Amino acid sequence: MTVRKLSISVPPEVEETIKAAAADEGKPVSTWLAEAAVEKARLAALHDEGRKAAQELVAEYEREHGEVPEESRRRAREFMMEAGLLDDEPWRAAG
């Protein structure tokens, strides 16, 4: 496998966290970071797929039953935030 060298900058406490995690898994820092980056990208893709699927479900529901009431949307957002499935910051910015 071909590898390429990257240079990154991190705060000292992040460096120590990375080194400790890599050591705990018995891996070189570069291997641990590469695996972490791949996992982060995989999770982001899954999150995007889930968001698109949820949007499609809501659109299908609304085609059949009309717009979802705002109170129901608010309760759904609260549930998702409590479940750790949604960050509330975008909703705060939206009002």
Phi-psi region of 17 (alpha: psi -120 to 50; beta: other; left: phi over 0): alpha
Please give the Cα distance from 9 to 3 (Å, whole number): 19
**Quick check: pTM over 0.85?**
no
Q: Are 18 and 29 in contact (CB under 8 A)?
A: yes
Hey, where are the domains in the chain?
Answer: 12-94
Identify the pLDDT of residue 95: 46
pLDDT in tens, the chain (95 residues): 898 999 999 999 999 999 999 999 999 999 999 999 999 999 999 989 988 998 999 999 999 999 999 999 999 989 989 998 877 655 454 44
Q: Are 38 and 44 in contact (CB under 8 A)?
A: no
